[in-house]
């Protein structure tokens, strides 16, 4: 407590305790007057504070706008570079897979037609289909594409498991 406030409190208690009512009332009024004083914030301080808050908000807004613009520009540039660098590879893989699929269909049709003419059984036709499929998969471009798809599928499964969370009770 403030020393002046403590002195006034003691004076009031002493006056009240000895029966001096007039003096006790004056001491109590003076004590409450000291309690009621508030330090008023100057209008200049309030104006400076609000101006600083407004300036900080404006700086944050501008920084967020610059960050969004930089991110958008970087994403567009990265997308263009990825398309430029990965586009020919993707077209090559797609065309190789398309040609391989067409080749497989043609070989299956030829094997089926020649098998019917010579009277071969179903197992011979399936064996020739297996050989054609093995030749298709043996192509390095197809093998890399299949491995890439398997990697993407495994990553998607891991991400899905992490998103959904593992249920320990179902494992028991």
pLDDT digits (tens, 9 = 90+) for 21-59: 888 888 888 777 777 666 677 888 889 999 999 999 999
Whether residue 169 is predicted with pLDDT greater than 70 in this model: the reply is no
**Alpha helix stretches (DSSP H) within 3-121:** 3-18, 21-36, 43-118
Give the number of other Cβ atoms within 10 Å of residue 27's Cβ: 21
Question: Which tokens hold the place of 165?
Answer: 């969370």
pLDDT tens digits for 121-143? 777 778 878 887 888 778 888 77
Residue 26: predicted pLDDT = 83
Enter the tokens of residue 95.
Answer: 């065309």
| Residue of higher predicted confidence among 143 and 63 | 63
Query: If pLDDT is split at 50, 70 and 90, which confidence band does 167 have?
Result: low
- Beta carbons of 59 and 29 less than 8 angstroms apart: no
pLDDT for 83: 87
| pLDDT for 38 | 60
* Whole-number Å distance between alpha carbons of 140 and 152: 18
Write out the DSSP string of 74-92.
Answer: HHHHHHHHHHHHHHHHHHH
3-state class (DSSP) for residue 101: helix
The answer, yes or no, to whether residue 2 has pLDDT greater than 70, is: no
Please state the rounded mean pLDDT for residues 56-73. Answer: 95
Residue 7 and residue 9: Cα distance in Å, rounded? 5
For the record, the structure tokens of 66 come out as 């610059």
Which is more confident, 2 or 54? 54
Cα–Cα distance, 158 to 49 (Å, whole number): 51
Q: What is the CA radius of gyration of the chain?
A: 44
For residues 90 and 149, what is the distance between their CA atoms, to the nearest angstrom?
Answer: 13
């Amino acid at each position: 407590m403030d020393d002046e406030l403590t002195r006034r409190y003691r004076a009031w208690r002493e006056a009240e305790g000895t029966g001096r009512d007039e003096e006790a009332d004056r001491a109590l009024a003076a004590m409450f007057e000291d309690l009621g004083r508030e330090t008023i914030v100057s209008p200049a301080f309030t104006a400076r504070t609000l101006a600083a808050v407004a300036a900080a908000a404006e700086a944050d807004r501008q920084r967020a706008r610059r960050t969004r613009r930089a991110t958008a520009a970087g994403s567009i540039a990265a997308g263009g570079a990825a398309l430029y660098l990965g586009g020919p590879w993707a077209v090559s893989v797609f065309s190789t897979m398309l040609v391989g699929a067409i080749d497989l269909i043609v070989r299956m049709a030829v094997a089926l037609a020649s098998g019917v003419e010579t009277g071969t059984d179903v197992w011979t036709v399936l064996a020739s289909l297996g050989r054609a499929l093995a030749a298709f998969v043996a192509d390095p471009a197809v093998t890399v594409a299949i491995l890439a798809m398997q990697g993407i599928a495994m990553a998607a499964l891991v991400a899905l498991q992490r998103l959904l969370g593992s249920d320990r009770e179902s494992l028991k």
